[in-house]
A and B are shown apart, each in its own frame.
Chain A
Amino acid sequence: MAKPEENRIIASTLSYAYPDAEKNAVSGVTMRVRNGEFLAILGHNGSGKSTLAKLFNALYVPTEGNVWVCGLDTRDDDLVFDIRQHAGMVFQNPDNQIVATVVEEDVAFGLENNGVEPGEIRVRIDEALKAVNMTRYAKKAPHMLSGGQKQRVAIAGVLAMKPDVIILDESTAMLDPSGRAEVMNTVHRLNKEEGISVVIITHYMGEAATADYVIVMDEGRIAMSGTPREVFTQVDAVRELGLDVPPMTDLAHMLRADGLDVRADVLTVDEMVEEVCRLSSSI
């Protein structure tokens, strides 16, 4: 395994069972999130992907195995708040994670909890709101915002704590397509420009296709992993796990089945356009 400072999160033979549950929700997962990586975790409902996310943030403590966040063991009670600063989490329901009645107060919430000086809080709020393009809404009431805007406020709240990893636990699941695009664009920009590692838990294949690395969960175990291209070209295997492949990969798959010579690892519309142009020019 690589040196710890190159990995933001390391999970080693990690298992977790909910109290009173017979089966492990997560069992024997070993994985890592590299510095600056954009990782997508896929899986159908109940595959353990959300549980995994909560283990990364010390909201759950593993029943077996270990999780290290930036070298900190989540089993250590004294480190819990440090870990939560390093690994910020954005949840699914935008309404249920905003605490304050004013946007900027909500962004300040995490910083206030950590006892940051008021002057410093001010600076960090302004930075965080600017980074998610929400400066204009600083004084607004959260319930007046759209779903995508609320999620961006939630991201700003995490961002203000200067995290090394942001974990999005199905944060786009309740949004409309434009809200989903808002959130994904924001997260990608933060990943590229600020070098923050991102873990997205999702069941939108389109979102997973934009990641650096994909992990597919099934029954609490890692069923497949690799780059999006490596994973999604195995169309049948992905389908067997109850998941779809990205629409363009699906199309390429169908075209190939009809005997057309397109690449099997097409992920995006642009790549598909390229392939089709190549085909039509060769005819």
Chain B
Amino acid sequence: MLKDITLGQYFPGDSAIHRMDPRMKLILTIVYIVGVFMVSNLPGYLLALAFLYLVVRISGIQFSYLVKGVKPLRFIILFTFVLNLFFVQGETPILSLGFFTLTKEALDNAIYFALRLVFLVMGTSVLTLTTSPVQLTDGLERLMRPLQRFHFPAHELAMMMTIALRFIPTLLEETDKIQKAQMARGADFESGNLIARAKAMIPLLVPLFVSAFRRANDLAMAMEARCYRGGDHRTRLRELKYTKLDAIGALAMAAFLFVVVLEGRLLG
């Protein structure tokens, strides 16, 4: 269930995209998403797709990987699509069914919104597939650092993300262990209706939470013992550096954005 979502899964590699600075990748991903949201005609989306495809080819990841990442979100996308069909007001009706009239504007809007969501997921997937979680949190911390001036807890957030990432496999393993222990004692997690199944989760969740709190306590003690004292005066093993690759990436993205805007102006 959890393992199907590409978001947050790293695909190790040594391509130009992999070697780019995580900060640059984060910024470019945001720029790309903004670009995609500015597009409002089909040729524009073809351009966005072509650009994404190019990036994916360079990174050496299979494109089907990205498509698989969209799959778990198909209901949300479908829901947005239908919602847009119904609620967008338009002038040129194409179909009339009793009280409901489907207009061209509504259909266009619905398609564009669905496409934007697809590109949003695929774009961020490229980021997380080519950037290790450690690099990603590093990049985030570095990008948010200027905000610390306004007492924004950038270091603390990054630290929490790292710890969360570190403990996901440990807690998954533990969940599995508890589940088996409860099943050995006759617990039934699979049958019954939704409410019965939700109730069956209690004997799983309570021990899991108790143990998570104990782990947090232990970890805090261990971090203190190793001189942890927040983000001030802290150095890092790996200092991030922008390279030529990042400049090329930024240029490519700028070119994409330019073409998208130009195309929007020309084709309306």
- Chain A interface (Cβ within 8 Å of chain B)? 54, 57, 59, 81, 84-85, 88-89, 91, 93, 95-102, 104-105, 108-118, 121-122, 125, 141-143, 157-158, 161
Contacts and interface: CB of A to CB of B under 8 A. Distances in A.
A143 B169 contact: yes
B67 interface: no
Among the interface residues A57, A96, A111, A118, which one has the most CB atoms of the partner chain B within 10 A? A96
Contacts of B163: 99
B91 interface: no
Nearest to B174: A95
A105 B215 contact: no
23 contacts: A54-B221, A57-B225, A59-B221, A81-B227, A84-B225, A93-B215, A93-B218, A95-B215, A96-B214, A97-B218, A99-B226, A101-B162, A101-B165, A111-B235, A113-B226, A113-B227, A115-B233, A115-B234, A118-B236, A125-B237, A143-B169, A157-B226, A161-B226
Contacts of B162: 99-101
A105 B170 CA distance: 18
B226 A158 contact: yes
Contacts of A113: 226-229, 234
A118 B237 contact: yes
A51 B226 CA distance: 17
A161 B227 contact: yes
B164 to A, nearest CB: 10
A276 B264 CA distance: 95
Chain B interface secondary structure, helix, strand, loop or mixed? helix
Sorted nearest first, the 8 A-B pairs with minimum C-beta distance are A96-B218, A97-B222, A110-B226, A108-B237, A143-B169, A113-B227, A89-B225, A115-B233
Contact of A91 (B222, B227, B228, B235): B222
A99 B166 contact: yes
Contacts of A118: 235-239
A121 B134 CA distance: 17
B235 A100 contact: no
B222 A85 contact: no
B136 to A, nearest CB: 11
Given A81-B229, A96-B219, A112 B234 contact: yes
Report the contact-size class of chain B (Cβ under 8 Å from the partner).
20 to 34
B134 A102 contact: yes
Interface in B225-265: 225-229, 233-239
A91 B169 contact: no
B223 interface: yes
Contacts of A143: 166, 169-170, 173
B190 interface: no
B133 interface: yes
Among the interface residues A54, A81, A93, A112, which one has the most CB atoms of the partner chain B within 10 A? A112
B147 to A, nearest CB: 21
A91 B214 CA distance: 14
B223 to A, nearest CB: 6
Interface in B129-178: 133-134, 162-163, 165-166, 169-170, 173
Given A101-B134, A113-B227, 14 more contacts: A88-B226, A91-B221, A96-B214, A98-B166, A99-B222, A105-B237, A109-B226, A110-B226, A115-B233, A118-B238, A141-B169, A142-B166, A157-B226, A158-B226
A95 B166 CA distance: 10
Interface in B172-199: 173
A85 B218 contact: no
A4 B170 CA distance: 43
A161 B223 CA distance: 14
Nearest to B159: A99
A100 B223 CA distance: 11
Contacts of A115: 233-235
B9 to A, nearest CB: 13
A100 B227 contact: no
B235 A121 contact: yes
